[in-house]
Amino acid sequence: MKFDVIVLGAGIVGVCVADHLQQQGYAVALVDRKAPGSETSFGNAGLIQREGVYPYAFPRAFSDLLRYAFNRSLDVRYHPNAMVELAPFLWRYWRNSHPVRHAEIARAYATLIEHCVTEHRALALDAGASELIRPSGWMKVFRTHGRLDRELSLMQQWQREYGIEFEALEPARLRQIEPDLNDSLVGALRFSAAESVSDPGALVTAYARHFARIGGRLFLGDADSLRDGWSVDTQEGRIEAKRIVVALGPWSGPFVTRLGYRLPLGVKRGYHMHYEASASAQLHHPVLDIENGYLLAPMTRGIRLTTGAELAQFDAPKTPAQLEAVEPIARELFPLGARVDSEPWMGRRPCTPDMLPIIGPALRREGVWFAFGHAHHGLTLGPVTGRLLAQMMSGQETIVDPRPFSVERF
């Protein structure tokens, strides 16, 4: 079976790339070992972060580094036996997080973020999935005035630089919007231009169904069977194409070594668990408890509690210590009921040390294109990445300047 393009990886990024390429008139095959949206795209917090112009940086304040060194922080945990392996990535990540460099990175990153909501809306409309996207925004809540004041100052800076929209909520206004949150909170910041998803896995599935409706083909197969030329084994037989797109998320780094690229990619692991809401309690927005490093999000399955980052070896067993640590705190913030899931879910975020995704051609191998490394913003940037890469592959004018996202920067 022959196609114009084979897309390897059916997470949010791979599905969106395949969808946009199919819309451009290419014959596209989308290949994954599992159903679309079954891995990292399934378990995120469901945020489409229009305000996220500054990607998540490595902490540089000495007080923060000292806190993390003892490995008791709620928002970041590490496995000591993984630190030697991760040290080169973390060193480069720390250097790129210098405020001057971080600001340079944000200028490129913001060009993608600018289109995240409009691109999701357009694709969701085509896919008949608009009901899965909520326009209500999301919020950070605060327990201390000091942290609120620092974050407010930072958001005001982002507003001046990039025009991001937010609303500062006094306690009374916060209780009016979210009456079931703990009334000891001193305030919140609500990001009104952002949107959220009630079921990220279902959204990816809907986008994949749209891809199939417009003529795309979905295959179960293993990217590791790739042969030069390019061809891949699937359950329906071997498929071939002159071009491939690597969109394997956290598996992309090891995979592209066979294509001649040794990339300084890291992986941040994260966990989630769903809960019933006690009695008649309701949560209307995703809520980040910024001082304790977890987020509560209303989902179709229940209230999803997501953790911060865990640094570990790629295939290390699950260690949901962060989830166990923040659950009692989350129960104080909002009246959570019984756990819904039988065990915690774990996913992996693919990260570059300069916090920018890798989007574009692999110049060392003819016919190879990359789309991975979106870290915390894979869901946010999936559709705009799909449009950008499809435009590049078609030789069209691009929605943003793609040069900052080239793999050749490494």
What is the mean pLDDT of each successive set of 10 residues along the chain, which is 410 residues long? 98 98 98 96 96 95 88 94 96 97 98 98 98 97 97 97 97 98 97 98 98 98 96 98 98 96 96 96 97 97 97 96 97 98 97 98 96 98 98 98 97
At 367, give phi and psi (nearest 5°). Answer: 85, 5
In whole angstroms, give the CA distance from residue 389 to residue 51: 23
Render pLDDT for 55-71 as a digit per residue (tens, 0 to 9). 999 999 888 888 899 99
**Residue 88: closest CA among 219, 275, 265:** 265
Cβ contacts of 73 within 8 Å, gap of 6 or more = 67, 293
pLDDT given for residue 64 in this prediction: 87
DSSP codes, 261-300: -----EEEEEEEEEEEEPTT----S-EEETTTTEEEEEET
Instruction: Provide the pLDDT for residue 72.
Output: 87
Q: What is the pLDDT of residue 67?
A: 87
C-alpha separations of 146 from 61, 115, 149, 264, 294 in Å: 16, 33, 5, 36, 19
**Closest Cα to residue 137, out of 42, 44, 50?**
50
**Residue 334: its pLDDT value, please?**
98
Using alpha carbons, list the distances in angstroms from residue 12 to 17, 235, 307, 316, 401: 9, 22, 20, 24, 22
Is 2-44+201-264+353-409 in CATH node 3.40.50.720?
A: no
Instruction: State pLDDT tens for residues 350-390.
Output: 999 999 999 999 999 999 999 999 999 999 999 999 999 99
Report the alpha-carbon distance of residue 349 to residue 312 in Å, rounded: 12
Q: What is the reported pLDDT for 62?
A: 87
Looking at residue 63, its pLDDT comes to 86
CA-to-CA distance for 351 and 270, rounded, in angstroms? Answer: 13
The domain locations on the chain are 2-44+201-264+353-409, 59-78+266-349, 138-192
pLDDT at 77: 95
